[in-house]
Amino acid sequence: MAVTVRQMSLIVGTLGVLSFIFGVIAENKKPIAGTPITGKGVVVCKYPSDPSVALGYLSFAFLMASTVAGFLSLFYPYKGKSVPQSALFRSTSFLVFVNIALFSAGLAAALLLWPTITEQLHLSRNVHHNLETDCPTAKTGLLGGGAFVSLDSALFWLVSLMLVDNAREDYFDEVEKDSKGEHGEILTDDYGAPAYLKGTA
């Protein structure tokens, strides 16, 4: 079954929205701080139920899936017809949006992974010898920011895909015009010349 541009755009958009949703939920579910329990020379931090680590990794996974799908969608041979990459990269706007999509995907990945890994470390290393520790959690706002940038990245991939669709149509129109032009010249040379000119050839 051949994949169409519309189907690929739905895949990229859906993955981007899922990454956004999981990132926002992870931000909302993250506790502000843990409860310090003082022991003999140590402080044990007790944290409430914290699904933000799993949700953060899910958001990151959907971001990566959206990025891979978005990148592959630009060069997929729709309707069995492939376009040379040189024809696509002639467009300045296409280059700009692809670079923005890649940059925003990298930024979103950093914003999602940094607090997720930090939170995981806080939960696993909850015994502290510093008796004044306040049982911190990952920095607030990073997961939410990463979720929004992840959604932006998916939107930039969709814009790039629209530009590719236009570039494909222009490319195949040029190829069709060139083939018709050559065919027309053959017809003119073979049949369009007057009889007295043919005799002098």
Q: Give domain limits for the chain.
A: 5-171
Top pLDDT among 82 and 44 is at 44
Cβ(83)–Cβ(163) under 8 Å? Answer: no
47 phi and psi angles, rounded to 5 deg: -105, 145
With a CB cutoff of 8 Å and minimum separation 6, the contacts of 127 are 42, 43, 44, 45
Q: What is the pLDDT of residues 185-194, one digit of tens each?
A: 444 444 444 5
DSSP for 148-192, written as a single string: HHHHHHHHHHHHHHHHHHHHHHHHHHHHHHHHHHHHHHHHHHHHS
Highest averaged pLDDT of the listed ranges 74-78, 110-114, 170-174: 110-114
